[in-house]
Chain A
Amino acid sequence: MNRKILIFGATSAIAQETAKIFCDKSTWFCLVGRSDLKLQSVKNDLLTRGAEKVSCELFDLDGDVNPETLKEKIVESFGIPDVILIAWGDLPDQKHCEEDYTEFEKTFRINFLSVVMVLTPFINILKDKGSGVIAVISSVAGDRGRQSNFAYGSAKGALNRWLQGLRNALWRSGVHVLTIKPGFIDTPMTGDIAKGPLFVKPEMIAPAIKQAILKKRNEIYVPGFWMVIMSLICLIPESLFKRLKL
């Protein structure tokens, strides 16, 4: 039986590496992104690696967006997905977000609101189907607000809360929600950041993401050692944390 994987933000590095390891004769992909050129090159890569079928849909958050229409198109041509992976994100300049509200609003929209927007039309059809996995790439930054990136962190934090509620709401229907929390990943999104020893390549976390989807885990940190790091970070009392320059 075919496994249908719908990927939003399919041209992102983490999405590509994850899709690569799902490639086999029984997998169909539907790739959603804003660049036709990039989508086609991801499509060719997945087909060469053995995916049975790959279709593409253009969707630009900055353009004229209609998530219902998008859902109709996808369901008609691709069918009801078994897995929905959301892998788009925006890492803004924190100072700009503090000085200019429109910058903050933009990052909040891309990192949180857009996820709610594209998923909402799919929630009922997945509930009716009675199965499926919704996997969203969030971030460790959502675990605690800190001075260096709280615009991004608060959007991811809101996302984590919403996914948690959705997990709870959908549990009885058989639909599963997975929150993926990567730490420092070496991708084009972090291209401008100096790479420290904690950075890992996206292909290193893809197997863990695949396993978490197949095993229907709730929340995972990738790489796993971030669970320890974030647990320690969250234990620090606020009266002390507010003085730190993390």
Chain B
Amino acid sequence: METRHLNRFISFDRKTGVLRCEAGVLLKDILNLTVLFGWFLPVVPGTELISLGGAVANDIHGKNHHEMGTIGRHILGLELLRSDQSRMYCSPNSNPDLFYATIGGLGLTGLITFIDIQLFPGGDQISSETIKFYQLEEFFEISDDSAQRFQYTVAWVDCSSHFGHLGRGIFFRGNHLQKSSEKIRSGYKVRESTLVVPEGVPGIFLNHLTVTLFNLAYFHRHKSSKKQINQNYKSFFFPLDGIRHWNRIYGRKGLRQYQFVLPKDKKDCIRKIFGMISRSGLGSFLAVFKEFGDLKSPGILSFPEPGYTLALDFPAGNPQTLKLFAQLDQLIAKNGGRLYPAKDSHMSPEMFKACYPEYKNFRKFIDPAFSSDFSKRVHLIES
């Protein structure tokens, strides 16, 4: 269902930071407006090119999950339009069951028409630090240390590195600066990149060799082991948005994403998974690793739980990819972890039911006229 014409602002209180807008408004448009007045979205993912409705329907998380939880925690209310033409305002106090089903509800409970969201004080500049780490153990230490002092934390990890260097990477952490930059206050807009990956790039450019070489170069590009700079929010949060159609480098078959979370006491399992991915030679250079905090996710089908999450891309054209996914699925289900529906293109009904036993409770909120490829594949909708 296309909601891009549902893209208007309705109201914005510059004093309280409460924004009401139609569900098709992009996060980019929200930030372009609100950052001027010192308000920031409470949760942003790796791209600003998604709609607020989509963000709520997937109950997205961001680099600040350990402080702010998922976006659903900051939604004051939303209007839901169902196929029987009923419109319902849903909030923690009004139709709460439907509210908590719709957050993370993957668009299956009806069409979200508008959303009320509480923004939080934050300007356009982030004071950011990068720290190189050489092993997974170091990541765990840095992550623990950063949680108290930094609003935003995330790591890029090299999934092609072997044995002694397993799980080396770069840790990024940052805080909003108190004052917005002069430029943004005078209405200056950040110039957007015009880099575009052309259509028709063959997928063979992305292979084990090129990924290993890229990872090597990227890791060593960060020369000092620790570095601090002030960055514009777009370059801190949305580096890939600067390259339009980046997914085309995977070739015509495209990519499959794999993202999971495992509880904190399953560090051994995480090490095992890194080893499996690195031995397969399939993982691409985009691997994001982060510690989730303890803030409860509000939606029935929300993904984040306390633990560690890894998100990775794999070439869809390679038949070994799905074999690896099956092995990873088994390991993750056995260790009390789960997969992220928003990133999923392969989950089986059994895996889904094991990861989300609450699905039985969710089913009664599904609008009978709504379905999705995902809901059909995992038998969320009984056929």
Residues of A within 8 A of B (CB): 13, 16, 41-42, 44-45, 47-49, 188
Q: Is the CB of A41 within 8 A of B8?
A: yes
Within B1-56, the residues touching A (CB, 8 Å) are: 5, 8-12, 21-22, 33
- Decide if the interface of chain A is mainly helix, strand, loop or mixed: helix
Contact of A49 among B5, B22, B33 (CB under 8 A): B33
Q: B8, B10, B12 — which one has the most chain A CB atoms within 10 A of its CB?
A: B8
Q: Is the CB of A44 within 8 A of B9?
A: yes
- Decide if the interface of chain B is mainly helix, strand, loop or mixed: strand
User: What is the bound-complex CA distance between A47 and B33, given in angstroms?
Assistant: 12
**B11 cross-chain contacts in A, Cβ below 8 A:** 44, 47-48
Report A21 CB to chain B, min CB distance, Å.
11
Residue of A nearest to B36 (CB): A50
Q: Is the CB of B10 within 8 A of A48?
A: yes
User: What is the bound-complex CA distance between A42 and B12, given in angstroms?
Assistant: 14
User: What is the bound-complex CA distance between A41 and B21, given in angstroms?
Assistant: 10
Q: For the complex of A and B, list the 8 residue pairs with the smallest distance between their C-beta atoms, beginning with the closest.
A: A48-B9, A45-B8, A48-B12, A45-B9, A44-B10, A41-B8, A48-B11, A44-B11
Task: Count contacts on B: residues with CB < 8 A to the other chain.
Answer: 9
Q: A13, A45, A188 — which one has the most chain B CB atoms within 10 A of its CB?
A: A45
Report B51 CB to chain A, min CB distance, Å.
15
**A45 cross-chain contacts in B, Cβ below 8 A:** 8-10
Beyond A41-B22, A45-B8: 8 further Cβ-contacts under 8 Å?
A13-B5, A44-B9, A44-B11, A45-B9, A48-B9, A48-B12, A48-B33, A188-B5
Report B200 CB to chain A, min CB distance, Å.
13
Per-position contact with A for B101-140: 1 when CB-CB < 8 Å, else 0? 0000000000000000000000000000000000000000
Report B137 CB to chain A, min CB distance, Å.
48
23 residue pairs of the A-B complex, CB under 8 angstroms, read A13-B5, A16-B8, A41-B8, A41-B10, A41-B22, A42-B8, A44-B8, A44-B9, A44-B10, A44-B11, A45-B8, A45-B9, A45-B10, A47-B11, A48-B9, A48-B10, A48-B11, A48-B12, A48-B21, A48-B33, A49-B9, A49-B33, A188-B5
